[in-house]
């Protein structure tokens, strides 16, 4: 658009210059067409002598302007490419973090149905790893900044305590009424959390 406008103004300026040189000549020399070669030669010298330096300056100006325009276009294109590369890199990083969250929660869940000392320890480790992930990557996902106090974090803490109680009581532990409802709640909250992160990755 700017280039078209530039050419439009350039055409107007050149037309004005040609008329500004030609009209005074025609007025001063009666404006008739001569059949003498020397008269045409003199007119050519007059016309070229005045216009050539002006047109040369205009050409230099045009060259400078076009060089500036090309550099500006290249610069804008480079900026756009850089922004695209940043978005791709950010998308890749977010996607990797999403996998980390998903893997962490996926490892946490099976340990809840175990009943040994290792599973109790693993539950605590996975829960703490989940908190660490939130603290480490909250800058990527502003929506999870306060998730250490979210329902998902709270249910993980509750489940950790239940796992410890289950290990202590063994076969006397009421799985159906104590563990199962909280486990189902955890699964629902986990799905909701992962969906929230997925949405953030695609934004």
- In sequence order, what DSSP letters do the residues of 98-147 get, joined into one string? HHHHHHHHHHHHHHTT--SHHHHHHHHHHHHHHHHHHHHHTTT-GGGTTG
3 state SS of 90: helix
Q: What integer pLDDT is reported at residue 41 of this predicted model?
A: 73
Tokens of 72: 């500006």
CA nearest neighbour of 107 among 85, 90, 129: 129
Q: What integer pLDDT is reported at residue 96 of this predicted model?
A: 92
What predicted TM-score, i.e. pTM, was given to this entire model? 0.61
Tokens of 73: 């276009």
What are the structural domain ranges in the chain?
Answer: 2-81, 84-202
Q: What integer pLDDT is reported at residue 148 of this predicted model?
A: 65
CB 155 within 8 A of CB 182: yes
Tokens of 117: 């000392």
* CB-based burial, 134-165: b 16+ in 10 Å, e otherwise: beebeeebeebeebeebebbebbeebbebbee
Q: What integer pLDDT is reported at residue 44 of this predicted model?
A: 73
Q: How many helices (H) and strands (E) does the chain have?
A: 5, 0
List per-residue pLDDT tens for the chain, 203 residues long: 566 776 677 778 777 877 777 777 667 766 566 666 776 777 677 767 777 777 777 788 778 877 888 888 888 888 899 999 988 998 999 999 999 999 999 988 888 877 667 777 888 889 889 888 888 888 888 777 666 678 888 888 888 888 878 777 777 777 788 888 888 999 999 998 899 888 888 87
How far does the chain reach from its first CA to its final CA, in angstroms?
A: 32
CB 155 within 8 A of CB 186: yes
CA 193 vs CA 27, 131, 141, 177, 203: distances in Å:
87, 13, 12, 25, 16
């Amino acid at each position: 658009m700017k280039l078209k406008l530039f050419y439009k103004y350039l055409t107007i300026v050149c037309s004005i210059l040609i008329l500004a040189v030609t009209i005074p000549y025609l007025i001063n020399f009666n404006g008739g067409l001569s059949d003498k070669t020397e008269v045409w030669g003199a007119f050519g010298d007059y016309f070229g002598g005045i216009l050539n330096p002006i047109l040369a300056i205009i050409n230099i100006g045009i060259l400078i302007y076009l060089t500036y325009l090309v550099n500006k276009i290249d610069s804008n294109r480079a900026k756009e490419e850089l922004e695209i590369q940043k978005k791709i890199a950010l998308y890749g990083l977010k996607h990797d973090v999403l996998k980390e969250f998903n893997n962490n929660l996926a490892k946490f869940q099976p340990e809840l149905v175990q009943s040994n000392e290792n599973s109790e320890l693993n539950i605590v480790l996975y829960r703490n790893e989940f908190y660490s992930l939130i603290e480490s990557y909250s800058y990527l996902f502003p929506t999870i900044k306060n998730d250490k106090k979210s329902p998902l974090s709270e249910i993980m803490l509750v489940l950790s305590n239940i796992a410890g109680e289950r290990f202590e009581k063994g076969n006397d532990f009421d799985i159906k009424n104590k563990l199962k409802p909280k486990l189902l709640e955890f699964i629902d909250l986990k799905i909701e959390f992962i969906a929230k992160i997925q949405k953030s990755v695609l934004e």
